[in-house]
Amino acid sequence: MTVVPREATGQADSGLLTIQGVSKHFGGVTAVDNCSLSIEAGTITAIIGPNGAGKSTLMNLIGGLYRPDSGRILFDGEDVTALPPYRRAKRGLMRTFQISRELAQLTVFENVLLAGQPVEIESPFAAFLMPRTVRREERRLARRAEELLERVGLFRLADMPAAGLSGGQKKLLELVRALMLEPKLILLDEPAAGVSPPMVRELARTIRELRDEGLTIGLVEHDMELVAELADRVDVLAEGRNLTGGSFQEVTRDARVVEAYLGGVA
């Protein structure tokens, strides 16, 4: 891994995350096509665009699930393009999925605890050599899990199997799981999809609070009311390309954006 000098990122005040000329092909399909964008620290940046625009693929590239065919991904001053997801997560870059991936048979609490486990395989002797350290770490994780569940109103369901949660509650669980590792940047793929209106309110409130506390958030979302309410900046993808970016007002007035959406409907 190489540390990228500020000037090399091509931006004076570079974002916490910068994507430079990233492309991804699946067979003959170009899912992401020479896309460049930046997410500034402490902001909510929404990535919008019609179905199939490449938003989830871009999330997967940022999170490290896919490697780009070309281009670079810089996070917190480092080139992370070649790092696997867990090593990005360790640096503070976390993502959630469009489809929740909770472990259905485990309880809500267990799901959250597991997400906080150190991802690297520790020495099997560590638990014998440092039982107190291990127990202290376990207590710390349990406390954090409780606090986070309390915060999103899921603590009363902590002992329930995750399978029994509603769609919206699963989205909140996914968010809490991502927060266990104390990330700097969190990527949310359609947090409001299939979520009841009251739960969308709860999610929106939590996302805004987290931003206000300094967390940086990348948000893929089709719910334009939510985007209008939350996004400090909006980037628009269409057919894998970064069409334009700016405030919600700016991009929704842009004729190219209107056309990209209408084209998708036609």
Ligand X SMILES: Nc1ncnc2c1ncn2[C@@H]1O[C@H](COP(=O)(O)OP(=O)(O)OP(=O)(O)O)[C@@H](O)[C@H]1O
Applying CB under 6 A, which residues contact ligand X?
26, 29, 31, 49, 51-57
Quick one: 29 or 126, whose CB is closer to ligand X? 29
Contact 241/33 with Cβ under 8 angstroms? yes
| Smaller CB separation from Mg ion, 30 or 107 | 30
CB of 39 to ligand X, least distance (A): 17
Task: State the residue number with the nearest CB to Mg ion.
Answer: 56
Q: In terms of CB distance, is 56 or 206 closer to ligand X?
A: 56
Nearest-approach distance from CB 126 to ligand X, in angstroms: 38
Would you give the binding string for Mg ion spanning residues 47-66, x where CB under 5 A is met? --------xx----------
Per rule CB under 5 A, is residue 18 in the interface with Mg ion?
A: no
| Alpha-carbon distances of 103 from 28, 151, 210, rounded to whole Å | 34, 21, 25
Asked if 111 interacts with Mg ion (CB under 5 A), we say no
Q: How far apart are CA 195 and CA 62, in angstroms?
A: 25
> Hey, how many other C-beta atoms are within 10 angstroms of the C-beta on 160?
14
User: Which residue type is seen at 59?
Assistant: M
How far is 171 from 188, CA to CA, in rounded Å?
Answer: 10
CA dihedral 250, 252, 254, 258 (to 10 degrees): 170
38 touches Mg ion by CB under 5 A: no
Report the nearest approach of ligand X to the CB of residue 57 (Å). 3
100 binds Mg ion (CB under 5 A): no
Q: Which does 52 bind (CB under 5 to 8 A by kind): Mg ion, ligand X, none?
A: ligand X
Residue 26 or 86 having the CB closest to ligand X: 26
Those residues whose C-beta lies under 8 Å from the C-beta of residue 71, and which sit 6 or more positions away, are 19, 20, 21, 22, 23, 34, 35, 36, 81
Q: Which residue from 29, 50, 33, 13 is spatially nearest to 240, judged by alpha carbons?
A: 33
Residues that bind Mg ion (CB under 5 A): 55-56
